[in-house]
Structure 1
Amino acid sequence: INSNEVRQVMSSYWMDHSKDASLEEMMLDTQAESLAQSEHPEILSLLPPYEGKRIIELGAGIGRFTGVLAKKASHVTAVDFMESFIKKNKDANSHHKNVDFKQADVTVLKCPEKSFDLVFSNWLMMYLTNEEVLALARNMLSWLKEDGFVFFRESCFHQS
């Protein structure tokens, strides 16, 4: 299966699973609310200091982390593949004037080199092919400033 076929499958899958743009849909779990409450502080505690920093959030979804990141960062670019998710994120977080919302496929996303202090990704790469992960990793490193950080977290607790 090639990358174009994977993108078509993912697009179709998420179109079916994003109609309500809910936390349960985004996390593919009926217990999403309690899971989110328990994992949120842990994830944030693992981040490097990001006060006053420029962040790109890949797979931002409905904004579970966007608003929290925006409270301390100088700028957040929130990117998600699904229009319904990024719209819900914008509805929830547009009061933060330091956030740009972008509906885009990270496998073809273009950003200026050395433009971010932190690349943040939570539950994204598991939806990409090995080749796409490698290409994205190269891009993420090119988008980082000299002293920047990449944070990514994946979870394959159970098959979705």
Structure 2
Amino acid sequence: MENGSARATMTEFWQEHSEQATVEEMMLDSNARIISREEVPEILATLPALGGLRVLELGAGIGRYTQHLVKVASQVTAVDFMQKFLDKNKEDNGHHGNAEFIQADATQLDFPENSFDLVFSNWLFMYLSDTGCSRSLAACWTG
């Protein structure tokens, strides 16, 4: 695991900022709804066709992207560090039936080889150290 002290600090920070599981908390911005309305379509437009793909979504949060991914991908595995964010995501998107919600540290993932066709993440890697990014990407590459 990354530096235990740094991970503990990050865990404490996100526990404090996930109480209501809102987009404002998740994005740490009171204008998050406005930003999200602009950002989500722009980012989704850069993705390849997702029909029939198995997608791993890292840092899925409350489901800003999950809600779109589950409508087109055959399977979405939404992973987030904070259980409250993930619970909100599952509440809003679990009814689709093609989504799995996993509370996990993205630096500690262990999936069987060839589990996913595409890995999607937005706003996660800026919160990880270089080592954390490397571990997360290595897990995705082999998973």
Q: Secondary structure at the match of 1:95?
A: helix
Q: Deviations over 1:73-129 (max 9, x none)?
A: 000000000010000001101111000011111111111111101100010011111
* 2: CA distance, partners of 1:20 / 1:3: 28
Q: Give the equivalent residue in structure 2 for 1:12.
A: 12
1:108-119 alignment to 2 at 5 Å?
108-119=108-119
Q: Identity percentage over the alignment?
A: 50
Residue 21 of structure 1 is matched in structure 2 by 21
Preserved CA contact (<8 Å) 2:56 2:118: yes
Quote the RMSD (CA, aligned, Å).
0.9
CA distance in 2, matches of 1:127, 1:35: 19
| Structure 2 residue identity aligned to 1:89 | N
Residue 104 (structure 2) aligns with = 104
SS in 1 for 2:41: helix
Residue type at the aligned position of 2:73: A
Query: Given that residues 108 and 135 in structure 2 are in contact (C-alpha distance below 8 angstroms), is that contact kept between their aligned partners in structure 1?
Result: no
Gaps of at least 5 residues in structure 2 are: none
Q: Residue 79 of structure 2 aligns with which residue?
A: 79
Q: Higher helix fraction: Structure 1 or Structure 2? A: 2
Q: Greater strand percent: which structure?
A: 1
TM-score under structure 1 normalisation?
0.86
The structural deviation recorded for 1:140 is 1.5
Any runs of at least 4 consecutive aligned residues in structure 1 with deviations exceeding 2 A, and if so which? none
Aligned residues, how many?
Answer: 142
1:132 aligns with 132
Q: Which amino acid aligns with 1:29?
A: D
Equivalences for 1:39-118 in 2 at 5 Å?
Answer: 39-118=39-118
User: Which residue identity lines up with residue 82 of structure 1 in the other structure?
Assistant: M
Stretches of structure 1 lacking an aligned partner (at least 5 in a row) = 144-160
Give the counterpart letter for 1:85 in structure 2: F
| Aligned partner letter, 1:122 | N
